[in-house]
Amino acid sequence: MSKAIEIRNYCYKYSDSTVALKDINLSVEHGERVVLIGANGAGKSTLLLAMGGFVKGEGEIIIDGVELKRKNLKKIRTVIGSCLENPDDQLFMPTLFDDIAFGPMNMGCDADEVKKRVEQALATVGLGSMGHKAGHHLSAGQKRAAALATILSMSPSVITLDEPDGSLDPRNRNNITALLKGLEQTLIIATCNMNFAAAIADRAVLIDDGCIAADGVAEEILYDRELMVGYGLEVPGGSG
């Protein structure tokens, strides 16, 4: 069986030829929960965008057996769901229902199927009765959950999330942690919050200056004080 994600020798340069990602090699098994950690600007978000096929670099990316190529883009987007950093960018339709229905509808599902998927996604993220709400009627925590639901309704096998814990209070962060841990999909999560990373991940990948600096079992990497502090990070717990 194919791996969930297989990245080989991937490089990406910005249009001004600044190197953003250098020689990335990464392979992720199905069902793994991986956190990408690293300082601001290390290349975490770019790597997530690369997996979704939104930036085009050199090298090979294979998601769930589908090679990332221009002609495969449509197919790729049914197997990998990308959740952006700012939920306001993710939720662009007048109501939550429309937003969650957007993906399935573009996949060509019929009306009943779309409705079923929306209801299921809403129930999974615990917003069961909120389908008719508009974006500006949702709280920050609800927006995060809703953004995730827009991806879940497409039932991808891999989900990438960019800072899903951003600007959330502890309670909402715990909610989203529990929510993510309950999912069976492969998760790739970029975050700067090591407590969150420790709570959620099986595996941690440390990215620095566009390269993978460390890759291994989450507990070993996250609690390696020397390694973490060396890359401008911190270990979970303590001062937070």
Partner 1 sequence: MHHAHIDKFAYQDSPIHRLDSRVKFIVVMVFTFLVISLPVDSFGILFCYAVWPFAILVIGRIPLKFAFKQVLIVSPFILFLALSYPFYERGLVRTEFGPWNFEISLGWVKCFTISGKFTVTVLALIALVSTTKFSNLLSGLGRLGFPKLLVMQLGFLYRYIFVLIDKAQHILMARSSRRMRSLGVKREVKVAASMAGSLLIRSIDSAEKINIAMQARGFSGTWKSVNEQKFRRGDLLFALVCGAFIMALHFIVRPFLI
Distance CA 209, CA 204 (A): 16
CB of 169 or CB of 220, closer to partner 1: 169
Cα–Cα distance list, 209 to 85, 114, 206 (Å): 20, 42, 10
- The binding track of 144-183 with respect to partner 1, each residue x by CB under 8 A or -, is ------xx--x-----------------------------
Q: Does 52 bind partner 1 (CB under 8 A)?
A: yes
Q: Whole-number minimum distance, CB 82 to partner 1, in Å?
A: 4
The C-alpha atoms of residue 106 and residue 74 are separated, in whole angstroms, by 10
Q: Long-range CB contacts (< 8 A, 24+ apart) of 231-239?
A: 231/38, 231/39, 231/206, 232/39, 233/37, 233/38, 233/39, 233/194, 233/206, 234/194, 235/194, 236/194, 236/195, 236/197, 236/198, 237/195, 237/198
> Quick check: 74 binds partner 1 (CB under 8 A)?
yes
Q: Which is nearer to partner 1, 98 or 219 (CB)?
A: 98
Q: Parallel, antiparallel, or unpaired for β 19-28 and 5-13?
A: antiparallel
* Subset of 84-113 contacting partner 1 (CB under 8 A): 84, 86, 88-95, 97-98, 101-103, 105-107, 111
> Least distance (Å) from partner 1 to the CB of residue 216?
29
Q: Which of 7, 114, 149, 221 binds partner 1 (CB under 8 A)?
A: 114
Measured from the CB of residue 40, what is the shortest distance to partner 1 in angstroms? 17
- The DSSP call for residue 137 is G
Kindly state the smallest distance separating residue 178's Cβ from partner 1, in Å.
24
Between the two ends of the chain, the Cα-to-Cα distance in Å is 40
Nearer to partner 1, 23 or 98 (CB): 98
Of 197, 179, 194, the C-alpha closest to 239 is: 194
Q: Which of 38, 43, 57, 135 binds partner 1 (CB under 8 A)?
A: 135
CB of 81 to partner 1, least distance (A): 7
How far apart (Å, rounded) are the C-alpha atoms in residues 71 and 182?
Answer: 33
Tokens of 25: 């090699």
Taking the C-alpha atoms of residue 129 and residue 151, their distance in angstroms, rounded to an integer, is 18
Angstrom distance (rounded) from CA 201 to CA 215? 12
Q: Residues 136, 171, 226, 238: which binds partner 1 (CB under 8 A)?
A: 136
Supply the minimum distance, in Å, between the C-beta of residue 101 and partner 1. Answer: 6
Which residues would be at the binding site for partner 1 (CB under 8 A)?
49, 52, 54, 74, 77-78, 81-82, 84, 86, 88-95, 97-98, 101-103, 105-107, 111, 114-115, 132-137, 150-151, 154
